Structures are given as structure tokens and as C-alpha cells.
Amino acid sequence: MAVHTANAPAAESAAKKESKLAGLAKFRELGLLAFILLLAIGVQIRNPSFLTIENVMDMATNTAILSILAVGMMLVLVTRGIDLSIGATLALSGMLVAQIVSASAGFSPLLAVITGIGIGTVCGLVIGGLVAWLGVLPIIATLAMMNIYRGFTYMASDGKWISSYQMPESFVGIATSSVLGINTLILIALFIYIAAYYFIGHTRTGRQIYAVGSNPESAKVTGINEKKILILVYTLMGGLSGLCGVLWVSKFASAQGDTASGYELSVIAACILGGVSIAGGSGKLSGVILGAVLIGILNNALPMMDVSPFWQKGIEGTIILGAVLLNAAVKRGVERNHLLRRRI
């Protein structure tokens, strides 16, 4: 406190000089960013091939699906909900689309992507309906639907896998093609970020999502249709999971019944790492992307650091815990500064 008051006049006098620094200090996910940079430097020292263009591209490609899902999960978490069914929705959409393309080789990749999004959207709509209209707790509704969708996937596939020889080149090409040297998966993820950035920050509906999450009662009083918003976020989440199902199957050229089993936990971890509050109401796109990047780096770096497989899980957990603690500390500091500024 004392330090701050002493600094305040100085800061005012040199406002122009420090504006950039002040802007940085306002960035709540600073701690996470710093952590990622430190981690990257540490890994680079142990394995010089970590920060090569090829590896960074591989890492981005491998993280694209996770980060797309994390964007949707953020919206769900912001409304005080949670979605455990995304791994199952992803598997179902991936399996059904894989069956379609293996049956008719002429099926266009674009149409396959749209079909996948459609399947996911329907899955999400059902969950949205359960949560919004029937008032089922999101964790219960999505836990139940997770099992149901996973069951559908096994039923549809009859326990069989769809292998790469059954998939046409054009379909596998969705995930292996590139534009200007950048993999399509990365481009799709970037497109999703931009669309989400605009939707969350610059549309009325986008702002309403945050209003519903931070204070449902006042949101209702101001005339926001809470049910509509809830259905919307779960449907969006479903649509994104459906999209990711197609991308997943195309990337790995194989569809299994147990595809992405447990993947929802990685996605939720990325969101929490990125500073999204489980209690709802707060969460930033930049934070979520950083969170996904950290998980992506861990998945890529731990195998490259040549640590014993017995230690890998433990190290991963410790790093996540460290990142959360550091981020929370920095965030608290930044928020205190915000409050102080408001008092002045």
C-alpha cells in the first residue's frame, strides 16, 4: 500500500513513459505468460530441438483441437456450468463422420466437417435443453449424456475401429493440408479464436453470457433470457466438439470407440489454468489460449526432456499446480491495483 501511494505521483508525472508497462500490469494472465516463457527456456536448455520451427508447428498442430474445445468450455464455465460430455460428443461425431466417408469416398471434406458440426450441435442442444428447461445440474446432465453418447458411439461402431485405409485421401487431408506453410488445424483454431473474440466482446449476446454467469438474478431483472443463453453455450460447446471430432479422426486417421476418453479433463484444466473461474462470471479468451498452450507445451516437452515415464504424470501435475499458484498470486496483485486505481 505504502509503496503504491509513494509511486502514484511519480507514475502520473511519467504517465506517457510508463503507459506500456501499466498496460502490461493490467494483464491478469501475466503470471501464466511468464511461467510459460520460463518453462520454454528451461526445456530449450535441456533439448535444443525444442524451439525449432518444426517443433513449434507440431506443438501448435497438436494443441489446436484442445484449444478450440477450451474456447467453448470457457463459455460454459462462465455461466457457472461444466461440460463433461465433450470427449464423448467428439468421439460420436468422429465415428459417425468416419463411417460416412468410408462408405462413400466421394463425400467432400467440407461437407464432412459440416456434418460433424451438425452432429455435435444436436448433442449440445440436448444438454442445453436438460440444463435450461429441466433445470438439471450441469455436472449431472453432462455426466449422464457423456455415458449415453459414449454408448451411442460403441453401438454405432459395433466395437469396430475405422482405420486409415478405409478413409479417402481427401478426408485425411483436412488435418494434413496446409496453407502458406501453416497447418489447416492451426488456421481453423485461429479462425475460432477471432470469431470468439468478436462474439464475446462485441455482441450483445456475448456480453449477456457474462452477465448471466456473474449474477443470474440481476441478469434476469435486466431482461436477459437466461434459458436462451444456457442453451446457446451448450449448443456452441457441442458444435465445437463435433468439429473437433472430425478434425481428430482426420488427424490420426483412425476412429475408435474410446477416442478422447477423459479428454474433457485436459480441456477443463486448460480453462482453469487460463484463469477461468469455476464459480462463473469471469474468464478471458487470452487466458484460455495461454492455458491450452501450457498444456500443449507439457505434452510436447515432457517426452523430449527424457524424464522417466514414472515421473511424467507427477511432474505434469506439479507444473500445473505451480502455474495456477503463480497466476493466482499475480492476478491478485493486478486486481488490487485495479481497485486502487478506481479509488483514485
Partner 1 sequence: MKKYWTLILSLVLVFSILSACSQGSPGGNASNESGGDSEGESGGSKRYAFIFKNTGNPYGEKMMQGFEEAVNELDGEAILRAPDQPTAEGQIQIIEQLITQKVDSIVIAANDPDALQPALTKAMDAGIEVISVDSAVNTDSRVTHVNQADPEAIGRIQIEAISEMVGGKGQIAVLSATSQATNQNLWIEYMQKELEKPEYKDLELVKVAYGDDLRDKSVSETEALLKTYPDLKGIIAPTTVGIAAAGKVLTDKGLGGKVALTGLGLPSEMASYIESGVSPWMYLWNPIDVGYAAGHTAAALVNGDMEGKTGDTFEAGRLGQKEVVEDGEGTQVMLGEPFKFDKENIGEWKDVY
Q: Which stretch binds partner 1 (CB under 8 A): 18-26, 191-199, 218-226, 255-263?
A: 255-263
Alpha-carbon distance values, 228 to 128, 202, 223, 233, 235 (Å): 9, 18, 12, 9, 10
By rule CB under 8 A, what string of x and - marks binding of each residue 119-158 to partner 1? -----------x---xxx---xx-xx--xx-----x--x-
Structural contact between residues 69 and 262, judged by C-beta atoms closer than 8 angstroms: no
Structural contact between residues 100 and 112, judged by C-beta atoms closer than 8 angstroms: yes
> How many Cβ atoms from other residues are within 10 Å of residue 4's Cβ?
13
Residue count at the site for partner 1 (CB under 8 A)? 42
Return all residues near 270 (Cβ < 8 A) that are at least 6 apart. Answer: 66, 67, 70, 73, 288, 291, 292, 294, 295
In this complex, which beta carbon is closest to partner 1, that of residue 174 or of residue 285? 174
In this complex, which beta carbon is closest to partner 1, that of residue 240 or of residue 297? 297
In this complex, which beta carbon is closest to partner 1, that of residue 11 or of residue 39? 39
Q: How far apart are CA 264 and CA 246, in angstroms?
A: 16
Minimum CB distance to partner 1, residue 309 (Å): 4
Q: Which stretch binds partner 1 (CB under 8 A): 7-15, 95-103, 204-212, 253-261?
A: 253-261
For partner 1, the binding residues in 285-344 under the rule CB under 8 A are 299-300, 303-304, 306, 309-310
Which of 265, 337, 250 is closest to 23 using CA atoms? 337
Which of 114, 125, 127, 118 is closest to 85 using CA atoms? 127
* 164 is a contact residue toward partner 1 (CB under 8 A): yes
Pick from 102, 176, 282, 337: which binds partner 1 (CB under 8 A)? Answer: 176
Interacting residues with partner 1 (CB under 8 A): 47, 49, 52, 54-55, 58, 62, 130, 134-136, 140-141, 143-144, 147-148, 154, 157, 159-161, 163-166, 176, 248, 252-254, 256-259, 299-300, 303-304, 306, 309-310
